[in-house]
Amino acid sequence: MVFTDVTPDPIDVVEVLKRVAAAEDGAVLLFLGVVRNHAEGRSVDGMRYDAYEAMAKGVLAEIAREASERHGTDRIAVVHRVGDLQLGDTSVAIAVSTPHRAAAYAANREIIEEIKKRLPVWKKEHYVDGASEWVEGAAPPVPHRAGGTA
Amino acid sequence: MVFTDVTPDPIDVVEVLKRVAAAEDGAVLLFLGVVRNHAEGRSVDGMRYDAYEAMAKGVLAEIAREASERHGTDRIAVVHRVGDLQLGDTSVAIAVSTPHRAAAYAANREIIEEIKKRLPVWKKEHYVDGASEWVEGAAPPVPHRAGGTA
Amino acid sequence: MAIAVRTLFFAAYRDLVGAAEIPVDLPEGSTVGDLVASLRERGHPFSSLPPAPAVAVNRTYAGPEERLAGGDEVAFIPPVAGG
Amino acid sequence: MAIAVRTLFFAAYRDLVGAAEIPVDLPEGSTVGDLVASLRERGHPFSSLPPAPAVAVNRTYAGPEERLAGGDEVAFIPPVAGG
């Protein structure tokens, strides 16, 4: 079953992996995004993740569902953390399990790329020198024509 | 530090992940090969992995070293298990940690592909009907010309 | 007839306008684009919002031609940086 | 002058020849290809080995022209299936 969440709680990697275990699968791929100590040449000592949480939960579920349909597996778990993170903390975990490995790599990669493109989450880097800045992001794809009727 | 091993011991995924953690890295990719319950339409209930262990340890180290050089990270850990495995057991774990995600995906995938091409390991599937068979493998690439002198 | 919508601001846009949520009244039939223009016409600090920001209406990305209805939740979405 | 090498067999090849290791004497100057040919000439079951199997000499893949020396460990490597 596809599982997704946006949460302030620390991510338990073992639990995420357990969610995708299935007897018919021979390949599991886990991606972890981790807060690192540098960004564009500056030393970082922490990161704040903000989200439009109600929307982010829906978008993350949609991203996982799309990958599920495209790659024929419902053994997908994606958890994105929000709030104040320390160096080394996991900000996102993506686990995909499939019978054969090619689909696991492809689906996993697509999910992180879609997250970067359209998940309404922002991060503020805290630098060792005391400054902090919103990380430059990507403009999400927006429909050109209105879908709704008045 | 690049770490590789070929071992009869169960693979501890958390330990493998810990080996690649590094403050400068923002992306960790973990691949797990898992014994699944089917193969080419037959129901499987176990798998025996045999290795030319002394050579396999060297080849696995070489595969990891090549990926390390090609992708500029020494945060690589690869463990391949041998012996009798049950359904759901992890046969191989590949962890790669890099500053940015593209290198982690690429290095991780290259390592599993090289393992499939040239690691001297063989597996015998045990089927639910009681039969068992060596899994058809890949002919490893062999040098065309002798390198040594007599 | 006027409609009342809730506008939400996040991250850099929240810092810019100095508020997380602002109620806005608009003429009936207004679109997302009309809302953006009307806010920017208020002058500082709203005039610093981009002329065509990403916007979500009721938690779904919406183009500038999308019609708004009373009670809509309209979020201004700065370039995203999850992962 | 003869040289003595150790030949190792794994997986399906081990099942085929019925042994994990067989000592073989060869004329000095023999190559990997010569060793394979000499084994296959012994007839059943060795004649069922492929004419150009993958071979490793002292734990490194080696081509058929590679010269052998006394004490070499020569492994017959069936198609591999790790992972």
The answer, yes or no, to whether D and C have at least 3 beta-carbon pairs within 8 Å is no
Confidence of residue A148 (pLDDT cuts 50, 70, 90): very low
Test the B interface: residue of A12, A32, A34, A112 with most B CBs within 10 Å: A32
B119 touches chain D (CB under 8 A): yes
Render B78-123 in DSSP notation, one character per residue. EEEE-EEE-TT-EEEEEEEEESSHHHHHHHHHHHHHHHHHH--EEE
CB pair distance less than 8 Å for A29 and B31: yes
Query: Checking DSSP bridges between strand A42-51 and strand B90-98, what pairing results, if any?
Result: unpaired
The partner residue sitting opposite A150, judged by closest CB among C12, C29, C83, is C29
Q: Closest by alpha carbon to A94, among A83, A82, A80? A: A80
Query: Mind listing the pLDDT tens digit for each residue in D22-47?
Result: 999 999 999 999 999 999 999 999 99
Nearest to C80 among A54, A119, A145 (CB): A119
Q: Is a pLDDT exceeding 90 seen at residue A145?
A: no
Q: How far is B76 from chain D (nearest CA, A)?
A: 16
Q: Flag whether residue D82 sits within 8 Å of chain B, measured between CB atoms.
A: yes
Question: ipTM score here?
Answer: 0.95
Q: What angle do CA A90, A85, C8 make, to 5 degrees?
A: 105
User: pLDDT tens, position by position, for chain B (150 residues)?
Assistant: 999 999 999 999 999 999 999 999 999 999 999 999 999 999 999 999 999 999 999 999 999 999 999 999 999 999 999 999 999 999 999 999 999 999 999 999 999 999 999 999 999 999 999 999 999 999 999 887 644 443
Q: Across the interface, which of A116, A136, A143 has its CB nearest the CB of C82?
A: A116
DSSP chain D: -EEEEEEEE-HHHHHHHT-SEEEEEEETT-BHHHHHHHHHTT-TTGGGS-SS-EEEETTEEE-TTPBP-TT-EEEEEPPB---
